[in-house]
Amino acid sequence: MKFQDMPYERVDFDEVSKELKELIAALQSAQSGEEQFKVHERYYALTGRVFTQRTIAHIRFDVDTTDEFYNAENEYYNEKMPILNALLLEYSKALYNSPFRDYLESRIGPVAFKNMELEQKSMSEELIPLKQEENNLTTAYNKLIAGAKIEFDGKELNLSLMRPYMVSSDRSVRRAAWKKVSEFMSSIEAQLDDIYDKLVKNRTAQARAMGYENFVELGYYRMYRNDYGKKEVEAYRRQVKEVFVPFAGKLHERRRQRLGLDKLKYYDESVYFPQGNPAPIGTPEEIMAAGQRMYRELSPETGEFFDFMMENELFDVLGRKTKRAGGYMTYLDDYNAPFIFANFNGTSGDVDVVTHECGHAFQGYISGRDPIKEHRDIGMETAEIHSMSMEFFTEQWMDLFFGDRKQDYIDMHLEDAAAFIPYGCMVDEFQHIVYENPDMTPAQRKEAWSRLEKEYKPHLDYDGDEYYERGGYWQRQPHIYNSPFYYIDYCLAQTCALQYKVKMDADYRKAWESYLELCKLSAGDFYTNMLTKVGLDCPFEEGCLQNIVQKLENYVK
């Protein structure tokens, strides 16, 4: 069914509550594991219906944040979802404590039961008011950012539509564009500070209500970190500082020379060539058509997937003034359908949607066929491997999007992928500092960010911009507000994607078979086990990053 034709009906949570309680009672009175699993299949149907309707409302709100009807629906779910989550937890506890656990684990898998344990450690009914407040605060942040109205080049633009000017080949244009964005961010700085201050205190209160010292432990449970923790992440960040920061420094120096500049400034951060970054040569419609050809040629599985997406109009990718910033893939359970949301703006980022977000969607399409829904509950450190690796697997088709600048795009992509890892780790360490010190003032948080910039991005020069120099850049990063501790998953996944880059250049088909196997595994096994099964080194292992850098050095000589 086409997305626009999917019917929407507000979920009646009183009715859902009644049905869930009936399922819990049926689970507890069941006389065998087989009988309990039949109850669990009814649970799949109920939750699939609820989350499909909630997701339709969420997408339609994001498509137009001024839509009064879906704005009201979004606020309704902000209030009701924490209540539902508490009920889902009760069901989860009943399943987790089943006397027929061995049978259920043989059907659903050990990862699912470990995740149930983490759910119990991360949610309780007393958190409902705090979760409702947290939802409202993140919505306020997203609306504030989406509502940007920046006068530039004779137009009124939002942050997404400013992006082409920020990567302009004309240095004076991009300097002016970055300055305009800085002025906008500075104009709402006090509001952003207030929202984040409330979020930190709210999340800290949730953690303490659950018996934790601070939000870090609770945040890890919420991210379903089921076979690694803070210690492993710290070891990974240390490797990044020792190995990847110097490597990224070489890439920045190489870029400075290519651009013919005496010194890189902050407004040069995302520019790779003196004639400007490679940009798509086609219209949005032509980009999507090129994507369809690419995926048909890549493999039978990807061809079938992309045809399904196009036929059912499961993309909303055109940038519009009232549309939420950013991009994502989500999933509509009742239709076994992924959905991709993005903001095309005429830059290479448009093509990244067709590779990165389609990597997520392809895996979602594959795992959607699995009757065990828990296998779809992949950790984000795994999910981002699917997306970031797809960016590399599709490189040989980049002439369809960039013409004779195909190689420029490939070079830019590799440099950008490698240079991202230090930035992503900086975002992660910043959040650890903030949540371990929840009484920091907004100014102290910005000072902490500035310190980290010197460690992770020592080349950075803000050229006198007051807002960025006092440590405000992080306020542009929605994950810090919306999804605490998510960002390190991008780094871990990029580490694996870079391994695939090396593997596919040695044996493309073998690398693709490994990737397809990873997509099929979904959450059928633990993260570190899955990496071993498909022949990838675990990012936490000592020497993993050193090995990658040694191989990548060959690409950047």
> How confident is the model at residue 321, as a pLDDT?
81
AA letter at 524: G
356 secondary structure, DSSP code:
I
Compute the distance between CA of residue 309 and CA of residue 313 in angstroms, rounded to an integer: 6
- Strand ranges, E, within 282-373: 315-318, 328-332, 337-344
540 located within any domain: no
Closest-CA residue to 351 (of 297, 286, 423, 419): 286
413 located within any domain: no
Closest-CA residue to 381 (of 294, 489, 241): 489
Instruction: With beta carbons less than 8 A apart as the criterion, state whether 412 and 272 touch.
Output: yes
Environment class of residue 285 by beta-carbon count within 10 Å: exposed (0-12), middle (13-18) or buried (19+)? exposed
Task: State CA 49 to chain mean position distance.
Answer: 24
Pairing outcome for strands 328-332 and 337-344: antiparallel
Give the tens place of pLDDT for each residue, 111-120: 999 999 999 9
> How confident is the model at residue 393, as a pLDDT?
98
pLDDT at residue 322 is higher than 90: no
Closest-CA residue to 216 (of 384, 437, 421): 437
- Number of residues in the chain: 557
The pair of structure tokens assigned to 246 is 């110097």
46 located within any domain: yes
Residue 325: band (very low, low, confident or very high) from pLDDT cuts 50, 70, 90: confident
246 located within any domain: no
292 located within any domain: yes
Q: Under 8 Å CB-to-CB from 134, ≥6 apart: which residues?
A: 199, 202, 203, 206
pLDDT at residue 318 is higher than 70: yes
Instruction: With beta carbons less than 8 A apart as the criterion, state whether 398 and 297 touch.
Output: no
Global pTM value: 0.90
Compute the distance between CA of residue 401 and CA of residue 412 in angstroms, rounded to an integer: 14
The residue out of 81, 102, 134 marking a domain boundary is: 134
pLDDT at residue 557 is higher than 70: no
The residue out of 134, 156, 173 marking a domain boundary is: 134
Query: What number is the average pLDDT over the span 115-130?
Result: 93
Query: What number is the average pLDDT over the span 51-79?
Result: 95
Give the tens place of pLDDT for each residue, 70-122: 999 999 998 999 889 889 999 999 999 999 999 999 999 999 999 999 999 99
Compute the distance between CA of residue 306 and CA of residue 362 in angstroms, rounded to an integer: 8
Compute the distance between CA of residue 148 and CA of residue 143 in angstroms, rounded to an integer: 9
Count the domains in the chain: 2
* Number of helical H runs and strand E runs in the chain: 26, 5
Residue 320: band (very low, low, confident or very high) from pLDDT cuts 50, 70, 90: confident
206 located within any domain: no
Instruction: With beta carbons less than 8 A apart as the criterion, state whether 278 and 344 touch.
Output: no
Compute the distance between CA of residue 410 and CA of residue 416 in angstroms, rounded to an integer: 10
Burial pattern 316-346, b for ≥16 Cβ within 10 A else e, equals bbebebebbbbbebbbbbbbebbbbbbbbbe
193 located within any domain: no
Instruction: With beta carbons less than 8 A apart as the criterion, state whether 521 and 385 touch.
Output: no
DSSP state string for 20-31: HHHHHHHHHH-S
Environment class of residue 496 by beta-carbon count within 10 Å: exposed (0-12), middle (13-18) or buried (19+)? buried
pLDDT at residue 353 is higher than 80: yes
Give the tens place of pLDDT for each residue, 247-300: 999 999 999 999 999 999 999 999 999 999 999 999 999 999 999 999 999 999
Compute the distance between CA of residue 314 and CA of residue 317 in angstroms, rounded to an integer: 10
Range of 387's domain?
A: 284-406+506-526
Query: What number is the average pLDDT over the span 373-396?
Result: 94
Compute the distance between CA of residue 203 and CA of residue 201 in angstroms, rounded to an integer: 6
Task: State CA 157 to chain mean position distance.
Answer: 25
Q: Under 8 Å CB-to-CB from 154, ≥6 apart: which residues?
A: none
Which of 154-163, 211-220, 390-399, 434-443 has the lowest average pLDDT? 154-163
Give the tens place of pLDDT for each residue, 332-345: 999 999 999 999 98
- Strand ranges, E, within 178-247: none
294 secondary structure, DSSP code:
H
Compute the distance between CA of residue 504 and CA of residue 485 in angstroms, rounded to an integer: 30
Could you tell me what percent of the chain has a pLDDT over 90? Answer: 91
Q: Under 8 Å CB-to-CB from 405, ≥6 apart: which residues?
A: 278
The tokens 């359970």 sit on which residue? 333
Query: What number is the average pLDDT over the span 340-359?
Result: 94
Q: What angle do CA 224, 230, 234 make, to 5 degrees?
A: 135
Give the tens place of pLDDT for each residue, 295-316: 999 999 999 999 999 999 999 9
Closest-CA residue to 30 (of 41, 46, 16, 14): 41
Q: In the Cβ-directed half-sphere of 427, how many Cα atoms lie within 13 Å?
A: 22
The residue out of 107, 134, 161 marking a domain boundary is: 134
Residue 451: band (very low, low, confident or very high) from pLDDT cuts 50, 70, 90: very high
Compute the distance between CA of residue 61 and CA of residue 70 in angstroms, rounded to an integer: 5
275 located within any domain: no
Pairing outcome for strands 315-318 and 337-344: parallel
Instruction: With beta carbons less than 8 A apart as the criterion, state whether 233 and 456 touch.
Output: no
DSSP run (H or E) holding 103: helix 101-108
> How confident is the model at residue 420, as a pLDDT?
94
Give the tens place of pLDDT for each residue, 479-532: 999 999 999 999 999 999 999 999 999 999 999 999 999 999 999 999 999 999
Q: In the Cβ-directed half-sphere of 466, how many Cα atoms lie within 13 Å?
A: 5
Mean pLDDT of the chain: 95
DSSP run (H or E) holding 152: strand 150-152
